[in-house]
């Protein structure tokens, strides 16, 4: 559920008419609803009835510091995948003991920064990474808390590019024999402590069966790890819950948590989840103006550099006209101005639209702004946060100065 609704034929975000925002800040522009984000977090938190839990929001899905602050105020931790994301979490004064560091390619500098800030855990993704963290811990005379990210070998997730939990995927460690060998190794290490077992099976997952299998796998592996002498403190089932981009039906966090609580009822560890999309996806839209109509093309002022998902994953987003009018609907191909044939935001999209109309590309809060670029020397769009009847620019539109900031002119 979200707070983008028509009132008297005009699209509002909470109490704000979106035409007002388009008029004041121009287009393209990202708009987020604070109330929607808070609602989703509450749904996750209230879903846990029996188990101690921590929701570590996946920073990569929407990393603006004002958004992270909303989540911090709701007691969330953070799942990070880079030094930059670590710095964002520390910048807003997150308790480091709520930060989980995932990712297959952690550099020495990133590891050291995590160690020095005493984060909750590094989710180790390979044998080499384990030895590297141990070496850095030893050089700095520290004992570092780690979790092993294993591959539950569950085939799930939407597009091929967002499946992550299978044998042969670049993420996580498999087979389980290797996980157990490494658990033994950590038990005997002076500089590492195994406190968790983690996994993440993919993104935009629409079936609960995959999560059930994952929960069973994590329980069975945790039982084996018990025998190595390590005392696990958390089981982390990752993120990945799907959301409705069109009219597709997706499971609720409540149903997800009830399966996890049932399958893990005999375990005492804290449960960690790392949701991204299901917290911020439908809390954001991208406003864009229809510049031209040409045959069945709506040429809008947002492009693949603003919202990459349709070009990258063939993702479908619903698109609404800010002025509600379902008469004379036509089927449009909605394209941006970038010089690539793949710069298509929607195909065969049925709506009523005229030149100058403002459209809202829905469900653009997650993996939207964060994937934007300056391709075609286009400045990045602003991000605006609506809170009831107020709005604030939480990232300004870039300028030409921003575009060339780090460039060096040989003629100056
Ligand atoms: C390790 C990890 N955790 C959590 C997430 C968040 O996934 P989602 O946004 O689908 O919930 C991702 C996304 O790819 C991830 O790689």
Cβ 276 under 6 angstroms from ligand 1: yes
243 C-alpha to center of ligand 1: Å? 13
**Does residue 158 carry a pLDDT above 70?**
no
Cβ 278 under 6 angstroms from ligand 1: yes
Q: Which CATH fold would you assign to the domain 63-275?
A: TIM Barrel (3.20.20)
**Does residue 161 carry a pLDDT above 90?**
no
Cβ 238 under 6 angstroms from ligand 1: yes
Cβ 242 under 6 angstroms from ligand 1: no
Q: Can you give the C-alpha Rg of the chain in angstroms?
A: 23
pLDDT (mean) for 294-319: 96
- 339 annotated active-site: yes
22 C-alpha to center of ligand 1: Å? 31
Cα angle at 97 between 62 and 277, to 5 degrees? 20
- Note the pLDDT tens digit of each residue in 256-293: 999 999 999 999 999 999 999 999 999 999 999 999 99
265 C-alpha to center of ligand 1: Å? 24
- Note the pLDDT tens digit of each residue in 195-230: 999 999 999 999 999 999 999 999 999 999 999 999
Cβ neighbours, 10 Å, residue 160: 8
Shortest-distance Cα residue to atom 14 of ligand 1: 203
Shortest-distance Cα residue to atom 5 of ligand 1: 239
Report the atom number in ligand 1 closest to the C-alpha of 102. 1
Domain ranges of the chain: 4-32+281-404, 63-275
Cα angle at 383 between 382 and 386, to 5 degrees? 135
Is the fold of 4-32+281-404 the same as that of 63-275?
Answer: no
Give yes or no for a contact between 160 and 201, defined as CB atoms under 8 angstroms apart: no
Cβ 239 under 6 angstroms from ligand 1: yes
**Does residue 147 carry a pLDDT above 90?**
yes
Shortest-distance Cα residue to atom 16 of ligand 1: 200
User: Tell me, what DSSP letter sits at residue 368?
Assistant: S
pLDDT (mean) for 12-36: 98
Reported as a pLDDT band with limits 50, 70 and 90, residue 153 is confident
**Does residue 141 carry a pLDDT above 60?**
yes
pTM exceeds 0.75 for this model: yes
Q: Which CATH number fits domain 4-32+281-404: 2.40.37.10, 1.20.1740.10, 2.102.10.10, 1.10.287.70?
A: 2.40.37.10
pLDDT (mean) for 50-67: 97
- Note the pLDDT tens digit of each residue in 79-99: 999 999 999 999 999 999 999
In 3D space, the residue among 271, 234, 262, 83 whose CA is nearest the CA of residue 148 turns out to be: 234
The region of weakest confidence among 192-201, 242-251, 254-263, 336-345 is: 242-251
pLDDT (mean) for 374-399: 98
């Amino acid at each position: 559920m979200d707070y983008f609704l028509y009132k008297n034929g005009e699209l509002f975000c909470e109490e704000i008419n979106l035409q007002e925002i388009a008029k004041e800040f121009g287009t393209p522009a990202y708009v987020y609803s604070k109330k929607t984000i808070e609602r989703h977090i509450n749904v996750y938190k209230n879903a846990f009835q029996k188990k101690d839990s921590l929701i570590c929001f996946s920073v990569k899905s929407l990393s603006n510091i004002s958004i992270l602050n909303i989540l911090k105020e709701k007691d969330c931790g953070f799942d990070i995948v880079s030094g930059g994301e670590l710095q964002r979490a520390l910048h807003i004064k997150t308790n480091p003991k709520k930060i989980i560091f995932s990712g297959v390619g952690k550099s020495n500098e990133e590891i050291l920064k995590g160690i020095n800030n005493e984060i909750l855990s590094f989710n180790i993704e390979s044998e080499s990474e384990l030895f590297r963290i141990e070496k850095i811990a030893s050089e700095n005379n520290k004992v570092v808390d780690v979790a092993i990210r294993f591959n539950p070998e569950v085939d799930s997730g939407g597009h091929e590019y967002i499946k992550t939990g299978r044998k042969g995927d670049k993420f996580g460690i498999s087979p389980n024999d290797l996980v157990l060998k490494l658990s033994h190794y950590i038990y005997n290490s002076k500089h590492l402590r195994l406190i968790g077992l983690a996994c993440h099976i993919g993104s935009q997952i629409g079936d609960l069966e995959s999560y059930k299998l994952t929960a069973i796998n994590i329980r069975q592996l945790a039982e084996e790890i018990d025998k190595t002498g390590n005392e696990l403190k958390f089981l982390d089932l990752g993120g990945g819950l799907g959301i409705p981009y069109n009219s597709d039906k997706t499971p609720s966090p409540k149903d997800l948590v009830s399966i996890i609580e049932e399958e893990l009822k005999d375990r005492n560890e804290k449960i960690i989840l790392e949701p991204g999309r299901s917290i911020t996806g439908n809390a954001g839209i991208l406003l864009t103006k229809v510049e031209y109509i040409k045959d069945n093309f709506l040429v809008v002022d947002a492009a693949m550099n603003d919202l990459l998902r349709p070009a990258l994953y063939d993702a479908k987003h619903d698109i609404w006209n800010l002025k509600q009018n379902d008469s004379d609907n036509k089927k449009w191909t909605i394209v941006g101005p970038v010089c690539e044939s793949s710069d298509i935001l929607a195909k065969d999209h049925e709506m009523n639209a005229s030149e100058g109309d403002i459209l809202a590309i829905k469900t653009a809060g997650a993996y939207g702004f964060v994937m934007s670029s300056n391709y075609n020397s286009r400045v990045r769009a602003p991000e605006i946060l609506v809170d009831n009847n107020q709005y604030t620019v939480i990232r300004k539109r870039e300028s030409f100065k921003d575009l060339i900031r780090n460039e060096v002119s040989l003629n100056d």
